[in-house]
Structure formats: C-alpha cells, structure tokens
Amino acid sequence: MIFSSIEFIIFYISVFFLIRFLPSFQSSIIIFSSLFFYSFWNPIFTILIIYFFGFSYLSIKKDFSLKVSISLILVPLIYFKYSLFIFETLNLNFLVSFAYLGQLPLAISFITFTAIALIIDVKNQTYKENLSFKNIAEFILYFPQLIAGPILRAHQLIPELRKKILFNQENLKLGLLLFLIGFIKKIFLADTIALLIDPIFLEPSNFNSHDLLKAYILFPFQIYFDFSGYVDMALGASAIFGIKLPINFNKPYLTSSLTEFWRNWHITLSNWFRDYIYIPLGGSQTGETKLYFNLILTMSIAGLWHGASLNFILWGFLNGIFLCFEKKMKHFFKTQNSLKIFLNCFLIFNLWVIFRITNFNDLLNFFTIFYSGFFSIFTFENIILIVISILGVLSQKFDNYEKIYFVSQKAKLSIVLPIFIIILITGFGINAGSSEKFIYFDF
C-alpha cells in the first residue's frame, strides 16, 4: 500500500474515523493499523517488523549492551539485504545457496535505523523517559513514517504520540495541503519523468548523447520529486492528527556546496549518520587526516546503506572524497553564489548517474557516450530542457514548509477540500488508481 493509491486513502479515512470515535483506543488503533499497513505489501514480513519492536523493547528493559543490541538488530538487514552481495564479493560460492534471493522486505533499512537510534538514545540517556511496550511498538510502527522516513528519534515522536489526537480545521488544512503537494510531486512529476528516462538508464548504450542528457538532467528531479513527495505526504498524514514530523528536505539543489547539499537532502538520514557513525568515529575532533578518513568512511557506509551494490559504495565514496576536497580547498573558491550553485548541481547530477546505474559497464557506456558527444547535445529541444531544469532548481525557493503553513492558515477548508478531491481524482484517473512504488521503498 503506497500513499499515492486509492487503497491508502480508504485506509487512512478508516483510521481517521476510528481514532475520532474511539479516542481511548488511540494507541492500539495506531499500532494495529500500522501492522496492517505494513502487511498489505507482503504479510509474511509482518513477523520481521514484530521482531524489531519486540527486540527493541527487550533490549531496553533488560539493558543489553549496545554491541549485543545493535548486532542483533542488524541481523535481518544483513541477511535479507546483503547476504548475497557479501558471499559473491568474498567469492564464498559454497554459501551462496544460503543467501536470501527473494523480494527485499519493505523499508528494512529505515526500520533498522529507527530501532538502532531508539536503543542508543535510551542507553546513552539522550532520551530519559520510561517506555512501555506500547510506546516502543507505536514509535517503531507509526505508519506515516514507517516505509521511507523521515527517520525519527524518540524525542521527536514519542511525546507527540502520547498526546491525545485532537482533530481541528487548522491541522486538517495543513495536512491536506502537504499531502496534496506530495501527491502532485509523485503522480504528475516523478512518475511522468520515470516514463521518459527509465528506458534510457536500462540500456544507455542504445541511446545517443542527446537522449542521455535527458536522463542526466531529469533523474535528479525524479528522485527529488519522488522522495520529497513521499515525505510531504507523510508530514501531511501526520499533520491531520496534529503530529508534527521533522522536515527532510530544504531546497537541496539551491545549495552552493556539497556539504550544504547533504545538510538539506534527506536531513534525518544525514543527521543519523552524523550522530551515530561520524561523531563516534571522532568526527572533526581528531586531526585533519582522521577527519578525512572519518568523512570518507561515513559516506561510503551511507552509500552501502542504499543498496547491496558496488555502485552505491562508489557513489558514497566519491561523495566523501568531494566533501574532503571542499574542506581542503574552500578558501580558494571565491566565486558568485549562482556559479557555485551551478557547479554544485553539475557535480551532484554526475553523482546521481552513479547512484542510478548499478551495472558498471552500463555506467561506463553512459559517461563515455554522454561526454564524447557533449558539444553536440545542445539541440533546441535540449536547450529548452536545460532552461526548464534551471527553473526547476529555482522553484525550490517555494517548496518550503513555512510558506505552506502560512498558506494553510489563510486558506478556507471549503476551498482546500474540493481542490484536494479534484486533484486526487485526476491523479488516480491518470494512473489507474495507483502509481509506481516510491524509489526509496527499495532502501
């Protein structure tokens, strides 16, 4: 079940009315509806998510050491996502038959990191409140953020879930607007771009440099509209309940450095890696050489988190290298901010190609064809595309939570609700009631 589907709308309305008319069962409704939400994709993996919140509770109550707790929380992720990759990379062919070869459990990486953050925060007393089994289950399972984040900390969500949900027009207007913006990003933008560029990335050697430019320019927008669209819908679904989730994107393509980009792209994941890997390694407090090592290692792990493939590790590693280069050379670059934004987008867009293409031969073919015919790509059609992409980057100025909140306060529900219904019906009509699953569902 994905947010941009009729099934989810029916599910959400059902949960809405259950909480509305049975407020004393609020926590139980959230827990069991979240289990249903997760099981809708593949019921067998419900056992897996029960393991996550069940073991998290046991680990906290029995005060297991962090080494034991984190190791056991990581076991499902390593088996389901990385076992085949590890055995093949280490040439352990006799173990390949024991590797998992089926469909990846939905959002296993997100759920794992959520559970790890909870266990570490409680153990280190970053979060000091007493937690019941119900508190932990509700925190891990909360359906708006369950599948693709934002990755939450205990202090961000548990106090919100403990409050009584009070439905009012202000929350409803904000939630509907946020959900609608995310829906438009996903259905009308991300899914449309996918139709144009997925065949190009599938077989880049079958296309010329003109076509590759389309894929090069449009994929960064596809992944942005797809992922930020999901998060907007998650924030919207929560806002209707009066529950505020942290923003996960803040105009990432309008940044003037790669460092700034990673502070504004998938913010909750970047913060997770900073707090639970980079800083424990020593961060920037252990000398310049160690700083660079910590940065490259952290980004390489972040790349591996995205998938069991060498291209993801390379993508993370190169991000780390360029981040180190920025820190080393920042005093030598004194250019106009608009030029910095352009150069930063150029770098990020190249890195996105590495992220997108898992096969190294296809990756090499893409860059070879693209750059060997670079000066012939500037056809009228592609110039128009470049202009549209520039406008797309500039439009991020308006993709702003504060602006959306301001509009929601001024708008009337009698106007917001009909617009919401009309756009949803139009979107479902275009996509026959649903859409492609979100890109980050695979991570």
Contact 118, 55 (CB under 8 A): no
179-196 pLDDT per residue, tens: 999 999 999 999 889 989
CA dist., res. 310 & res. 316, Å (int): 10
Query: In 3D, which of 408, 146, 232, 205 has the Cα closest to residue 215?
Result: 205
Torsion of CA 326, 327, 328, 330, to 10 degrees: 70
Q: Which long-range contacts (CB under 8 A, 24 or more apart) does 427-431 make?
A: 427/4, 427/183, 427/184, 427/187, 427/188, 428/6, 430/187, 430/188, 431/4, 431/187, 431/191
Residue 166 scores a pLDDT above 70: yes
Q: Which residues of 141-178 are buried (b: 16+ CB within 10 A; e: fewer)?
A: bbbbbbbbbbbbbbebbbebbeeebeeeeebbbbbbbb
pLDDT at site 278: 92
CA dist., res. 315 & res. 355, Å (int): 6
CA-CA-CA-CA torsion sign (389, 199, 374, 358): positive
pLDDT at site 89: 86
Residue 384: band (very low, low, confident or very high) from pLDDT cuts 50, 70, 90: confident
pLDDT at site 240: 94
Residue 372: band (very low, low, confident or very high) from pLDDT cuts 50, 70, 90: confident
Beta-sheet strands, E only, within 111-206? none
Tokens representing 305 are 């988190």
Q: Whole-angstrom distance between the N-terminal and C-terminal Cα of the chain?
A: 16
Query: In 3D, which of 116, 52, 418, 114 has the Cα closest to residue 245?
Result: 114
44-86 pLDDT per residue, tens: 999 999 999 999 999 999 889 999 999 999 999 999 999 999 8
More confident residue, 55 or 443: 55
Residue 435: band (very low, low, confident or very high) from pLDDT cuts 50, 70, 90: low
Residue 332: band (very low, low, confident or very high) from pLDDT cuts 50, 70, 90: low
Tokens representing 75 are 């076991």
- Catalytic residue IDs: 306
Residue 237 scores a pLDDT above 70: yes
CA dist., res. 250 & res. 246, Å (int): 11
Percent of the chain whose predicted confidence (pLDDT) is above 70? 96
Contact 316, 273 (CB under 8 A): no
Residues 6 or more apart from 124 whose CB is under 8 A from it? none
Quick one: average pLDDT of 331-341? 71
pTM of the model: 0.91
Grouping H, G, I as helix, E, B as strand and the rest as coil, residue 378 is coil
Grouping H, G, I as helix, E, B as strand and the rest as coil, residue 147 is coil
pLDDT at site 381: 80
pLDDT at site 268: 93
93-137 pLDDT per residue, tens: 888 888 988 888 888 999 999 999 999 999 998 888 889 999 999
283-322 pLDDT per residue, tens: 777 778 888 999 999 999 999 999 888 999 999 999 999 9
The 8-class DSSP code of residue 168 comes to -
CA dist., res. 45 & res. 37, Å (int): 12
Residues 6 or more apart from 413 whose CB is under 8 A from it? 169, 172, 173
